[in-house]
Amino acid sequence: MDLSYSEKDEAFRAEVRAFLAEKLPKELSEKVRLSQDLEKSDMEFWHAQLNARGWLAANWPKSFGGAEWSAVERNIFEEECAMADAPRIVPFGLSMLAPVLQKFGSKAQQDHWLPRILNGDDWWCQGYSEPGAGSDLASLKTRAVLEGDHYIVNGQKTWTTLGQHANMIFCLVRTDTTAKAQEGISFLLIDMNTPGIEVRPITLIDGGAEVNEVWFTDVKVPVENLVGEENKGWTYAKYLLTHERTNIAGVGSSRAGLAAVKRIAKKVQARGRPLIENPHFAARMAQVEIDLMAMATTNLRIVSKAAAGQAPGVESSLLKIKGTQIRQEITDLARRAVGPHAMPFASDALDASNTPLPDPYDAGEVAGPYFNNRKLAIFGGSNEIQREIYSKHMMRGAK
Amino acid sequence: MNFDLTEERQMLQDTLRRFLAGAEGDLWPQLAELGVIGALFSEAQGGFGGAGFDLSVVFEELGRADVEVPLIDNALLPGLLLAAAGESVEALIDGSERLAFAHNEQAARYDYNWVETRFENGKLTGEKSVIVGADSADSFIISARHAGTPEAEQGIGLYRVDKAATGLTLRAYDLIQGGRGADITLENTPATLLMEDAYGAITAAMAAATLAVSAETLGSMQTAVEMTAEYLGTRKQFGRPIGTFQALRHRLVDMMVELEQARSAVILGAGNLDAAPNERDFVLSATKNIIGRVGRLVTEESIQMHGGIGMTQEYALGRFAKRITMADHRFGDTDHHLEQFIALGVGV
Ligand SMILES: Cc1cc2nc3c(=O)[nH]c(=O)nc-3n(C[C@H](O)[C@H](O)[C@H](O)COP(=O)(O)OP(=O)(O)OC[C@H]3O[C@@H](n4cnc5c(N)ncnc54)[C@H](O)[C@@H]3O)c2cc1C
């Protein structure tokens, strides 16, 4: 065992830092630090910066022009980006759809869609969940019927993250209603501008507009937009989900979150002293920091087992559970730290005059993210579903 | 011992529950009409209640319902301070006047003794921060220091200040849990003395407010748990109600276990509201600490067990979750009250 970073790793870290210092504008990182809403153009800007540097496809296999970073390199990159308050990279095209196309797509699909993902020509969203099909995804009902050289799609998807920005959606649809639930599902790529598609926003608990309902009425989808074989979509969907879980531990964002809590706790006064010196608050912070130290190592242990460009195995369930617990604990610390100042609601302007809210600790919104981050344990396979997956794995010998 | 409500309080509870179930429009005059504001004050103060159990009944019902009324901030707190100063509370009780108590300052965090706003030559100068209900008030009771260092318990006075007074700036904003708050800046603002040495009156009023917000949160938690139980019984995944999964239904029971703890904590607080100050505050710190801990559990578990729907603004659960959590930011949070409990426990 060797717990130290190699010289090469350290050089890479320095390279990432230099890149962030040069390319990440202060206004953008401030928005991220203060948990303000990002514009579509903010996210596109950052995507383009990374692409220009060749760091967007870093996790793609070399055969597709990727860099095949090692787990350690990936980790360094994520950590540095999070600590610098870089916007998150919208994952739907880059790290969800792309691996599916690379493994199961036709040559024509790969040639057409993969470069467009890198160039930011398409904004993809994920059309898996439906009102009646969340954890039980295989029960999905959105129907696709082949008529000539088109599928006709009818149904509804929901919780579609950033669907309001998307021009493309990859969907799980039912193409065989007679087969077993998992065996009648296909994987379709659908242009959001096709007639018959309607996107309606869902406002979340913190007032944010990040998810949507997407309705399909007689939507015509060319048959060449089917990925792989008809009725094999479940296999591709599951493959995609393992990639969705690659960075699930969120170590970088926890580190950044904890650093932010410390900054706040130094500014907040409690009984004439900085809150960071208060034994109860200090104990809460130390507890999370200890957990995070161990979890960062668990994360490296697990992800480095997976070959470069590959997703980790069933252990990613363990990472998701602990990772989200820690991230959520940190948002809880932040709201505690600011005391009564957690109450002012930042999404509304002060006195409707667009003046910013009082923010004496330069903390940005803290209660909003506390509530918003409840989602971490719900999406991407809820933490209960992760426990189901892992317990089945552990009990596989039991009768 | 007897854990039943008196007949009058039972009636108050029933009336209020029925009213809130169908309430519409401006609730304030209707609540006054129903006698709900009067129930917060004793006969000596001009009301017909005022005991801990009157408060717990009223606020638990408000918490159960999907409404946000600043009854603590525009009636209970200022009313108790007026009464302590020997002034009439009548206009508050009949709903014709609404006041707010501007006490909290940024450096105070949750400590009631920390006051830096100064009173000099009949004028106030300082800053009050996150005052709930400030912009729905007609005028203010403001605490200020006429003597002593910022943390001294002596030397804090109470003053009446007109909302339109010169040198007063109100910056109002929405609050996460609903309702409005404001920061108030005072610069040589003319003020009338209400009470010279007010620390005792302030802590007594804050104790009542702590009980009130605890009872309100208990009510909201009750609703959140009921909603979750109902959802587990109706939401189907994998061909059956999700409440048939032990992983969820056992956690529902864990919430119930803690909810009963919270109920007892509120009853203890209500029963000790009129005890000697140290004992009162000791018990109420226990109450508020439990409410904070159980509140977090109920917020997080009820959202988690709802899945995505629990994350939406439209579904009522989110509003209850926000009220429950933000209650931990009022009148001292979980840790603050743990510290108070330890400090006061030495003497009790
Ligand atoms: C903010 C946000 C963004 C999202 N973005 C997307 C997106 O872009 N695209 C997309 O397709 N989907 C998205 N989702 C949907 C997400 O994947 C689902 O919310 C998730 O799968 C859970 O489904 P559900 O909400 O229907 O809850 P349900 O499946 O109804 O679950 C309710 C509760 O029951 C539990 N439960 C269910 N089954 C079991 C079981 N067998 N044992 C124990 N407990 C169980 C769950 O864990 C949960 O606690 C998003 C969700 C959120 C909240």
pLDDT at A351 (0 to 100): 60
DSSP A162-209: TTTT-SEEEEEEES-SSS-GGGGEEEEEEETTSTTEEEEEE-BTTS--
Q: Is B24 in the same domain as B129?
A: no
Distance CA B62, CA A378 (A): 30
> Among all residues of chain A, which has the CA nearest to that of B340?
A280
Q: Are residues B103 and B144 in the same domain?
A: yes
Same-domain check for residues B279 and B321: yes
Of A216, A338, A210, residue with least CA distance to A268: A338
Mean predicted lDDT score pLDDT of chain B: 97
Answer yes or no: is pLDDT of A350 > 70: no
**E strands present in chain B:** 99-102, 118-120, 123-132, 139-145, 156-162, 168-174, 180-190, 192-195, 236-237, 240-241
Residue A90 CA, ligand 1 centroid: distance in Å: 20
Secondary structure element (H or E) that encloses residue A359, with its range: none
Residue finishing a domain among B175, B197, B219? B197
Residue with tokens 């697990």: A302
Run of H or E residues at A222 = strand A211-222
Task: Classify residue B58: in a domain, yes or no.
Answer: yes
Q: How far apart are CA B99 and CA B133, in angstroms?
A: 8
Q: B83 and B25 in one domain?
A: yes
Q: Which two tokens stand for residue A78?
A: 């994520």
Average pLDDT, integer, range A174-194: 97
The whole domain housing B274 covers: 200-345
Closest C-alpha to B332, from B173, B152, B148, B103? B103
Question: Rounded to 5 degrees, what angle do the CA atoms B322, A135, A372 make?
Answer: 25
Looking at residue A315, what is its pLDDT?
Answer: 87
Tokens of A369: 């993210």
Mean pLDDT of B92-107: 97
Shortest Cα distance, chain A CAs vs residue B67, angstroms: 17
Helix axes B316-326, B199-234, angle to 10 degrees: 150
pLDDT at A381: 92
Of B197, B217, B251, the last residue of a domain is B197
* Confidence (pLDDT) at A189: 98
Could you tell me if B251 and B120 lie in one domain?
no
Question: Can you give the pLDDT at residue B321?
Answer: 98
In a domain, B2, yes or no: no
- pLDDT recorded at residue A308: 58
Q: Are residues B111 and B28 in the same domain?
A: no
Of all atoms in ligand 1, which is nearest to the CA of residue A210?
1
* CB atoms B171 and A355 under 8 Å: yes
Nearest of A315, A383, A370 to residue A343 by alpha carbon:
A370
Is B188 found in the same domain as B284? no
Q: What domains can be seen in chain A, in order of their start residue?
A: 7-101 (1.10.540.10), 123-232 (2.40.110.10), 249-398 (1.20.140.10)
Q: Residues of B numbered 144-203 whose beta carbons fall under 8 angstroms of chain A's beta carbons: which are they?
A: 150-151, 171-177, 181, 183
* The Cα angle at residue A383 between residues A380 and A388, in degrees rounded to 5: 105
Put simply, the answer to whether A270 touches B177 (Cβ < 8 Å) is no
Read off the pLDDT of each residue in A144-154 and give the average, rounded to a whole number.
Answer: 98
Residue A117 CA to residue A51 CA, distance in Å, equals 10
Q: Does B231 touch chain A (CB under 8 A)?
A: no
pLDDT in tens, A235-272: 999 888 877 666 778 999 999 999 999 999 999 999 89
**Residue A2: predicted pLDDT:** 81
Per residue in B219-240, pLDDT tens? 999 999 999 999 999 999 999 9
Query: Averaged over B68-75, what is the pLDDT?
Result: 97
* Higher-scoring residue by pLDDT: A70, B294: B294
Q: Cβ A345–B174 below 8 Å, yes or no?
A: yes
pLDDT at A309 over 70: no
Q: Which residues of B touch A344 (CB under 8 A)?
A: 130, 173-176, 181
Atom of ligand 1 nearest to the CA of B311: 53
Cα of B294 to ligand 1 centre, how many Å?
24
Q: Is A339 buried (19+), middle (13-18) or exposed (0-12) by CB count in 10 A?
A: buried
Asked whether residue B242 falls in the same domain as residue B323, the answer is: yes
Shortest alpha-carbon distance between residue B10 and chain A (Å)? 33
Whether residue B216 is contained in a domain is answered as: yes
CATH number of the domain within which B165 lies: 2.40.110.10
B27-30 own/partner pairs: CB under 8 Å, 24+ apart: B27/B67, B27/B69, B28/B69, B28/B74, B28/B95, B28/B98, B29/B95
Q: Measuring CA to CA, how many Å separate B211 from each of A112, B40, B114?
A: 65, 12, 21
* Residue B256 placed within a domain: yes
B109 and B128 belong to one structural domain: yes
Q: Which residues line ligand 1 (CB under 6 A)?
A: A 125-129, 134-135, 159-161, 211, 375, 378-379, 382, 384-385, 388; B 235, 237-238, 242, 245, 247-248, 304-305, 307-308, 311
**Residue B131: which of A344, A290, A279, A332 has the closest Cα?**
A344
238-267 in B: which are within 8 Å (CB) of A?
238-239, 245, 247-248
B117 shares its domain with B164: yes
Q: Work out the average pLDDT over A325-342.
A: 97
Ligand 1 atom closest to the Cα of residue A383 is: 47
d(CA B91, CA A273): 41
For residue A133, the cross-strand partners are: A130
Within-domain flag for B275 = yes
Nearest CA in chain B to A212: B312
Q: What percent of chain B has pLDDT over 70?
A: 99
Reported as a pLDDT band with limits 50, 70 and 90, residue A62 is confident
- Flag whether B46 is in a domain: yes
The string of pLDDT tens digits covering residues A262-307 is: 999 999 999 899 999 999 999 999 999 999 999 999 988 887 777 6
What does the radius of gyration of chain B's CA atoms come to, in whole angstroms?
21
| Residue A4: pLDDT band with limits 50, 70, 90 | confident
pLDDT at A347 over 60: no
Reported as a single tens digit per residue, the pLDDT across B18-44 is: 999 998 999 999 999 999 999 999 999
Residue B1 falls inside a structural domain: no
B112/B59 same-domain check: no
Contacts of B241 in chain A (CB under 8 A): none
Q: pTM for the whole thing? A: 0.97
Burial of A128 (0-12, 13-18, 19+ CB in 10 A): buried
ipTM value for the complex? 0.96
Separation CA B134–CA B140 (nearest Å)? 8
As for how many domains chain B has, the answer is 3
B160 and B56: one domain?
A: no
Task: Read off the pLDDT of each residue in B167-174 and give the average, rounded to a whole number.
Answer: 94
Report the alpha-carbon distance of residue A259 to residue A292 in Å, rounded.
12
Give the distance from residue B47's alpha carbon to the nearest chain A alpha carbon, in angstroms: 31
Q: Judge whether B258 lies within some domain.
A: yes
DSSP B130-154: EEETSTT-SEEEEEEESSS-TT-ST
Mutate to test the pocket of ligand 1, among B235, B242, B301 (most ligand atoms within 8 A of CB): B242
d(CA B24, CA B127) in angstroms, rounded, equals 36
Domain ends where: B75, B93, B111? B93
Mean pLDDT of A198-220: 96
DSSP symbol at A134: S
Q: What is the pLDDT of residues A75-117, one digit of tens each?
A: 899 999 999 999 999 999 999 999 999 999 999 999 999 999 9
Provide mean pLDDT across the span A52-77.
Answer: 88
Position A349 scores a pLDDT of: 53
